[in-house]
Amino acid sequence: MCRLRNDRLLTWIGSQLHIYPWLININGKSSYNQPVWMGDVAATIRKYCMTPDAFAGKTIKLAGPEVISWADLKTVVRSTKLHRTPTTLARWFAFLLEVGTKPYLSRSEMELRVTDTILDLNTECIVFKDLGIAPHNWESKR
């Protein structure tokens, strides 16, 4: 199992590869994300705690500076070639894996895995730039 210090996303991917290696390759790993370093999130929380009135009624959306695919994240954790898992089959397994008090994978989490999660540059929400925070590149913090 991959243990990357202080990185919940990559540690989670490592555990997924260790237990259910086919789960990480849902939809051919074609969805994209913008990972955020935890230090940048902590800086945002600190700014919020210092001036909560400035954030009243506003949504904060945080995204890292780099857009990467699940395939790119997987190569960081493990260089093994994995076969593509069809989305329909993955949904069925997610249904089975969400049974119990602590589900391993839920159907909603699986849907997030096949959907791009990219910050809209024209959003009216508060982003790192509005807070004066320069987000770090995810690879620089591994």
Per DSSP, the residues of 80-118 read: ---PPBPHHHHHHHHHHHT-SSS-SS-HHHHHHHTS---
Provide the number of structural domains found in the chain: 1
- The pLDDT score that the predictor gives to residue 52 is 87
Residue 135 included in any domain:
yes
Residue 3 included in any domain:
no
For the segment 61-80, the average pLDDT, to the nearest whole number, is: 74
Residue 1 included in any domain:
no
Residue 2 included in any domain:
no
Domain that includes residue 29, residue range:
8-141
104 or 17: which carries more pLDDT confidence? 104
The rounded distance, in Å, linking the Cα atoms of 63 and 78 is 24
Phi, psi dihedrals of residue 39, rounded to the nearest 5°: -65, -35
- The pLDDT score that the predictor gives to residue 2 is 35
For the segment 54-66, the average pLDDT, to the nearest whole number, is: 87
Instruction: Please answer whether residues 1 and 15 qualify as being in contact, where contact means their C-beta atoms are separated by less than 8 angstroms.
Output: yes
- The pLDDT score that the predictor gives to residue 21 is 58
Count, residues in the chain: 142
* b/e 28-61 (16+ beta carbons within 10 angstroms → b): ebebebbbbbeebeebbeebeeeeeeeeeeeebe
Residue 72 included in any domain:
yes
pTM of the predicted model, to two decimals? 0.51
Residue 22 included in any domain:
yes
User: 69: part of which helix (H) or strand (E)?
Assistant: strand 68-69
